[in-house]
Amino acid sequence: MNSPDHDSVFRCAVVSVVKHAYVPNGVEVHPRFELVVVCDDADQPDWVHERNQLYADEHEIPYVRGIEEAVAAHDVQVAVISSEAERHCELAVRCAAAGLHVVQDKPMSNRISECDRVVEAVAAHDVRFMMWNRNFLPALVEAKRVIEEGGIGKPYAFHVDFYFAKDSGPPRGSRGPDDPPINWLERQIEAHSDGSDGGVGVDPMGELKIEGIYPLAYIQHLAGSRVERVYARTASHFHQANLDNDVEDLATVTLEMENGVIGTLCIGRIGAASHPDIGEIKLHVLGETGGLVISEARPEVSVYYRNQPPLEFRHRRMAIDLDYQLMEDFARAIDTGGGGILDAVTSREIAATVQAAVDSGKSGRVETVA
């Protein structure tokens, strides 16, 4: 039986929820986490307030324009941050300063200096921090088990393919000679309706920054090695919005890690026509006595029927326990003072790896991870 302290329920503030709301929705899956209020700064634009209000209404909790006021009034212990990317860290620092544990949506930030502020704030105020991640997907749990049981010997190379078969506005080459470039934020706001607004914010972001934390967290989780050098190729191959804003939608990355471990990443938002489901997401791991090939989507169930909508996934993931396990891990981190599955320090290292990859894609050189 758990001790009474380990049964306590954490009251959570949803601190801005302008993206698709998988993070706060995932938090509330766990019975020890209760969403009690949505809040944001009063000076935010109308579209931000509208989305926050909508989420509050859907969950029948209040929306407060004023973060510190909401925290004080609602006896909150945890902040769930899902704002525009460039606000993530500022909000996390303020919440940590208020003594709140923090669950934060990806990316950690689009600036490493901001990530450093979070690392310092979390340590200074002795609160726990978790970047949202997918490390507890069933296939990842299986991969971790096989490696830890020595099934392939000491692993030395980790390869991840992380493709999202989604469109993202008009295709590359569709802009007329007299058309203006696509405004990034306007495009992301428009994309909210179909859930492809992962890069919402004023500053344009490519796929490495938007999604890179997931596959890089896989590699970090399985390898446990820090990335030292990065070589990358990047391209705006598919979408006009990426081309207009000089951010990649396709990238390949070579990672040189501690102890001679090698990693690679293929990542892209490759268009809805490219795969019948969300995309081919795979892990290939080589060890000194074997190899491991993992499909991240499995287990899944296949469903086909007459008049099936073209964009409906034919293969549906199932038995996904990710949200519960992430929050169970976070609860344990709070209870014990431990680091958890993806804490601030590790998240910052991954953000630095992403930045090195973006830099390498532009410089054509091998970049050292800061």
Partner 1 sequence: MVQLALIDPGLTTATDWQAAAQRRADVRIVDAATADAVVVAKLSDVTRALTDGQHVLLCPSAVTSVADAEGLANSDGPIVMLASVDRFSPSIEQIHACIVGGQLGNPGLLRIHRWLPDTGNIDSVRLVAEFDLANWLFGSLPCDVYAVHRGGSGAYAHAHLGFPNGSMALIDVAITLPEGDDYFSLSVIGGDGSAYADDHHNMHLVYGGGQPTAHRSGEGVTGLVNLLGEFVAAIDESRPALPGPTEARAAQLVADAARQSIDAGRPLALAETGDAYELA
**Residues near partner 1 (CB under 8 A):** 156-157, 159, 161, 163, 165, 171-172, 231, 233-238, 250-252, 254, 256, 260, 262, 264, 266, 268, 270-271, 273-275, 280, 282, 284, 286-291, 293, 295, 364-366
| C-beta closer to partner 1: residue 55 or 163 | 163
For the bound state, the minimum distance from the C-beta of residue 291 to partner 1, rounded and expressed in Å, comes to: 5
Q: Answer yes or no: are the C-beta atoms of 357 and 235 closer than 8 Å.
A: no
Q: Answer yes or no: are the C-beta atoms of 102 and 128 closer than 8 Å.
A: yes
The set of residues, in sequence order, having a beta carbon less than 8 Å from that of 292 and lying 6+ positions away, is 143, 146, 147, 151, 152, 283, 284, 285, 286
| C-beta closer to partner 1: residue 169 or 171 | 171
For the bound state, the minimum distance from the C-beta of residue 219 to partner 1, rounded and expressed in Å, comes to: 14
| C-beta closer to partner 1: residue 270 or 342 | 270
Structure token digits, residue 63: 């929306």
Which pairing describes strands 63-65 and 10-17: parallel, antiparallel, or unpaired? Answer: unpaired
**Which runs of E-coded beta strand occur in 113-180?**
129-131, 155-164
Q: Answer yes or no: are the C-beta atoms of 268 and 249 closer than 8 Å.
A: yes
- H or E element, residue 256: strand 250-257
| Whole-angstrom distance, CA of residue 267 vs CA of residue 214 | 10
For the bound state, the minimum distance from the C-beta of residue 146 to partner 1, rounded and expressed in Å, comes to: 11
| C-beta closer to partner 1: residue 4 or 364 | 364
CA distances from 273 to 7, 194, 214, 277 (A): 47, 16, 23, 10
Strand order across the 78-82 sheet: 63-65, 33-40, 10-17, 78-82, 101-104, 129-131
Amino acid occupying residue 73: A
For the bound state, the minimum distance from the C-beta of residue 165 to partner 1, rounded and expressed in Å, comes to: 8
For the bound state, the minimum distance from the C-beta of residue 183 to partner 1, rounded and expressed in Å, comes to: 23
For the bound state, the minimum distance from the C-beta of residue 270 to partner 1, rounded and expressed in Å, comes to: 5
| Whole-angstrom distance, CA of residue 257 vs CA of residue 277 | 32
For the bound state, the minimum distance from the C-beta of residue 216 to partner 1, rounded and expressed in Å, comes to: 15
| C-beta closer to partner 1: residue 85 or 152 | 152
For the bound state, the minimum distance from the C-beta of residue 157 to partner 1, rounded and expressed in Å, comes to: 6
Sign of CA dihedral 41, 111, 103, 51: positive
Find, among 336, 30, 91, 361, the residue nearest to 212 by Cα: 361
| C-beta closer to partner 1: residue 289 or 336 | 289
For the bound state, the minimum distance from the C-beta of residue 172 to partner 1, rounded and expressed in Å, comes to: 7
Q: Answer yes or no: are the C-beta atoms of 10 and 32 closer than 8 Å.
A: yes
| C-beta closer to partner 1: residue 177 or 364 | 364
DSSP characters for 14-45?
Answer: EEEE-S--HHHHHHTTSTTEEEEEEEE-TTS-
| C-beta closer to partner 1: residue 6 or 365 | 365
| C-beta closer to partner 1: residue 32 or 166 | 166
